[in-house]
Amino acid sequence: MSGFAPEPAHPRLPAALRFALRELRGAGRGFGVFLACLALGVMAVAGIGSFARALTDGLQREGRVILGGDASFDLVQREATADEVAFLAGKGEVSRVAFLRVMARAASGEATLVEMKAVDGAYPLAGAVELAPPLPLAQAFARQGDAFGAVADEMLLSRLKVQVGDTIRVGDARLVIRATLASEPDKLSSGVGFGARLLVPLDALPATGLIQPGSLVRWSYRLTLPDTAPEHLSAVMDEAHARFADAGFRMRTRERATPQLEDNVGRISQFLTLVALTALLVGGVGVANAVSSHLAAKTEVIATLKAVGAPRRILFATYGIEIALIATLGIAIGLAAGAAVPFLGTWALKSLIPFPLAPRLDGASLGLAAAYGALVAFAFSVWPLAVAQRTPVSTLFRDRFGAARAARPWGAVLLMAMAGLVLAGVALATAADMRAAAIFLGAALAVLVLLRLVALGLTALARRLPRPRAMAPRLALANVHRPGALTATVMVSLGLGLSLMVAVALVDRSLTAELNGPLSEDAPSFFF
């Protein structure tokens, strides 16, 4: 035998690539599971990251409107002094807003908790308040006799069983509902409220008689600058921090108008990304099964190539390139679907969520998803590839399952471990909370190891059990521990998937119980 010297159809291409392209013909029918597992996992990671970025970008883009200005200076239980107001007024236009939680009462005796917001004539400095029926805010606030005008959330009207034009009381003040509040530009910056919104003029606040020593009132001073350049805003804030270091101000800028919301979005995005990554790992088991099945079907081809002298590296490269090309297709499908998620989500959810969305093609999220997909495909494909190229020709001809016994490719084990470490490193490096990500990845690894040990124990137990006399049970028991059995694969994939679903369900149940339980048990019936 003169050795391995094929006559290819494309002499200019490397031998491994020529054979890989030839093997691709008809290979798609056996790689449906491979493509589905990889594409769905990549789509989940890319879609979650892209949608979270669309939300954070939207919050930053609309930060001036959400905050109510370029900067906000908040105080609790006291108003700003004349010197403090003068400093702010010297930098730009200032609007004063007061927030307090009060009881509103209707003439019928109905009462409900409301979030009252008292605003001055300059409000809003950014954005616009939309009322129904449409009318200027100054007209809605116009005073008639001892009654002030007010604007209420539709929920407030429903709870008090009143209509536009009716009069309600807050403390000692009489308020006439002139319109309902259709849109409030700075609603997100106010945080979570426990009652419906009631918008009143700042002049009505003293008439309520509720501003007393110890009243829980939050005063917010919104500032818009004539020069909106980031450098100018930064200089103003540096000066304010130095001047009001001990004044008790909570200072925010348009760049982080809702820091708590943005942080929560980041945490939720990280949690969902880790869940998607775990789902991708579950899909990796399907990738390994698809590669193993494909190589098992190519037993005669591999045996023939080895018999005519094909080196191991050619075999490994041939089927490695083939799997890489198919993996690239699966990743591309997942990326295309994931990139569409923020656009479809914006279209479907725009009317349901009060958050501004700015969908776009996010290269960072798509790149991260592609990296995850490539690492998972590599990690779960290298073992069956290494086993196939190391197995002797005689084993390939006589026993397709003997490869698992004949070859111990420790180099493949090392490559898999390296891919796993890189995967974990990328997940940790891109995590908003590295500690939470480390705990999640450690738990996932522990579950994988535990499931593998359970599978080994189940196989050993099945091997030692007495054989049933009936044919079907005997064959079923033998298939649990036979060479090449799918016991470990089924145990790991099914167990990891079930563990993931249980974990997500328990987290959801825990959060729901935390929010509903204490509130329903400890919430007061009346608020003074």
At residue 2, what are phi and psi to the nearest 5 degrees?
-85, -5
Please report the pLDDT score of residue 32 as a whole number.
78
- Angle subtended by helix axes 259-297 and 32-61, to nearest 10: 170
CA torsion sign for 279, 281, 283, 286 is: negative
The tokens for 497 are 């998937």
159 Cα distance to chain centroid: 35
Residues of the chain by 3-state class (helix, strand, coil), percent to 5: 60, 15, 25
Q: Can you give the pLDDT at residue 311?
A: 74
Q: Which single residue is written with the structure tokens 């000692």? A: 172
Angle at 181 between CA 176 and CA 186, to 5 degrees: 125
3-state secondary structure of 218: strand
Both structure tokens of 179: 């319109």
Q: Give pLDDT, residue 388.
A: 72
Q: Is the backbone peptide bond immediately before 124 cis, with ω within 30 degrees of 0?
A: yes
What is the CA 355 to chain-centroid distance, rounded?
A: 15
pLDDT in tens, 78-114: 888 899 899 998 999 999 999 999 999 998 888 888 9
Of 48, 92, 57, whose CA–CA distance to 269 is shortest?
48
- Give the pLDDT confidence score for residue 54 in this predicted structure: 83
Q: Which residues make Cβ contacts (< 8 Å) with residue 132, sequence separation at least 6? A: 179, 180, 182
Q: Are the C-beta atoms of residues 491 and 448 closer than 8 Å to each other?
A: no
348-361 in b/e form (b: 16+ CB < 10 A) is: eeeeeeebbbbbee
Q: What integer pLDDT is reported at residue 9 of this predicted model?
A: 47
Give me 48's structure tokens.
């979650």
Query: How far, in Å, CA of 216 to CA of 403, rounded?
Result: 75
The pair phi, psi for residue 155, each rounded to 5°, is -65, -35
CA torsion 134-140-144-147 (nearest 10°) is: 120
User: What pLDDT does residue 273 have?
Assistant: 79
Give yes or no for a cis peptide into 133 (omega within 30° of 0). Answer: yes
Q: Which two structure tokens, joined as six digits, stand for 181? A: 């509040």
pLDDT, residue 7, reads: 47
User: Which tokens hold the place of 380?
Assistant: 């779960």
Fill in the amino acid letter for 76: V
CA distance 127 to 182: 13
Give the position of tokens 């399952």.
401
The segments of the chain whose pLDDT lies below 50 read 1-2, 4-9, 400-407
| Exposed/middle/buried for residue 102 (C-beta within 10 Å: 0-12, 13-18, 19+) | buried
Compute the distance between CA of residue 199 and CA of residue 195 in angstroms, rounded to an integer.
Answer: 12
Mode of pairing for the β-strands spanning 111-119 and 196-201? parallel
- The Cα–Cα gap between 142 and 358 comes to 37
